[in-house]
Chains A and B, each alone.
Chain A
């Protein structure tokens, strides 16, 4: 409980974007997330680390209610984004997901042209009033996704024809195109080579000026490189949450220490 108070102190210094209180997630009888409390700050990169199966993805998916799409999944507790309870029945999960974008572990461009991939979100949410405006959104998103130069001459070609790293940046650009406030990334670099990883990391660093970014990663180095805050999950519990530098240099919990030094996980 000590560290929780510390978090609250830190959070007071900047705006809190997401607050989770007493979140529990069950898959049928499996208790996947156990009473997690966390406050995620605006315009920062927060990394979730922890051994495989500890519930990082599950918790991440709570934040945009993607768990609703899994029949057996049940979420309790309170999650607030900007003081709005996202599980309240007045909240439309569809609109929530436009506001909280998500990038998945495996690049999943639609089997459409690069242009249509980016324009997908703006189109279904009616963000562009004209073709010109849509063109602008597409170009802007691709630029922010650091992939514009590579694809600007081939916007009509299928997004599935790009390389893995390009596809992932395309997916990030696609998520940005709907102008979300929060960007959730579930192991976005696990399918990428070091060069593409570096590009995506650079991009994340770029993005956190405007968004709060939550990234799940298995790479300790990556967490250390891109995040300001790090949360360590273990067996469904949030064990420790603190500034990234603190976690990696001075962990308070022995489980955290063992994990980052490579003894569990």
Chain B
């Protein structure tokens, strides 16, 4: 049933294409010079039908459910909903829906059965109305498009207009999504700050997100100071960068300038595969291999090493970031014009001197941009740290200690009992908001640096 409108739409689109192209051909064969090629006339008609009708159908399908829900609930007999809170009303609706699907438990009241019948009938009717609407709309547009066919009709510009409109839409999807994320995050964050003072969150040194389970349980007041958590993130990020930046840069420099072609053609794809390894797998690697190794090594030196060290999590995260940094640096180095290399070599510098004195400085903005993007990835990385970092928030910068990160805390806060009206769960949104802000600031920095120096060579 839901497939029918789409089938009709496809038919109409094909028909529009064929009809308009034929019409244009007839005009051309009649000896007139067409402004646009015949296929543009066809595509114009096809797009003119496809875009509005598809949009219309999708919107209809999105709104059909909620609207029918409302009509059903509004037409219930007087008084049956009295005394119910919003949860209760939802429950009634759910019951009506399950009855309408034929899943009857116990003996529902008569008015519920009647409502279920009405619900089914409304849906059937809506489906038919949709088919009718699609038909009328498609035919109308088909006729309209056909009426436009003429020797001097600018079908190509029409097509270009529609396509560029589509492209504008696609390129703004990400922006709207981001805005939506910010709005929903800020809403929940505001609710969190209603319960916990902003200053406590921003400057508190304790992170113990418990809440009283019963009203009278005063002892378990939570503490929501995010500093130890963000400190943990910073420690792990720094460890990751200490691993990733030098290794990534040197591998990029080597591959870009010094490696024989054959080696490059092997190593580059392998590095890219490394970038495709799922982070869960890195997490395994961290807990099964790296963490025990660090612990054993540390103990053999007589050091006190925690089982979940920041070093293990950060180190493995660093390995994850190596391909990221090296491919960015490689791109940046490759983008330096050949003329710069020729100039340096022509003045008698060795390849090494050329790299350190000309290529690297010229590529620096791109490299810095890549590193900063890697930083935001490290800050936002979740799986590796959930598996390999600790849970307890500590004010420490010792990489051999166990620390927790913002992302780990968000995950643990939202796992299990999640009612969205206590500070414990809402704290996750506040943390998410801060994470978002921090990475946003770093990204803005990255973009600025890249943009500022981009025109350095030309």
Contact = CB atoms under 8 A, between A and B. Distances in A.
Contacts of B458: 160
A121 B340 contact: no
B346 A64 contact: yes
Contacts of A94: 348-350
Contact of A66 (B340, B346, B350, B353): B346
A108 interface: yes
Contact of B343 (A95, A98, A110, A178): A110
B349 A104 contact: no
B347 A112 contact: no
Given A71-B261, A160-B456, A160-B457, A110 B344 contact: yes
Nearest to B356: A124
Most buried by B among A94, A111, A121, A160: A111
Nearest to A64: B346
A171 interface: yes
A102 B261 CA distance: 27
A9 B353 CA distance: 43
B204 interface: no
Nearest to B347: A121
Contact of A104 (B343, B362, B456): B343
B341 A69 contact: yes
Contacts of B353: 124
Contacts of A108: 337, 339-340, 342-343
Interface size grouping (class) on chain B:
20 to 34
B350 A106 contact: no
B348 A66 contact: no
Contacts of A106: 339
Contacts of A111: 340, 361-362, 456-457
Given A108-B340, A110-B340, A111-B362, A124 B348 contact: yes
Interface in B12-52: none
A174 B339 contact: no
B345 interface: yes
Contacts of A174: 343, 347
Interface in A29-81: 64, 66, 69, 71
B358 interface: yes
Contacts of A171: 343
Leading 5 A-B pairs by shortest Cβ distance? A98-B348, A108-B339, A102-B346, A97-B348, A111-B456
26 contacts: A66-B342, A66-B346, A69-B345, A94-B350, A97-B345, A97-B348, A98-B347, A98-B348, A99-B348, A101-B346, A101-B347, A102-B346, A104-B346, A108-B340, A108-B342, A109-B343, A110-B343, A110-B457, A111-B457, A120-B357, A121-B347, A124-B357, A125-B348, A160-B458, A174-B343, A178-B348
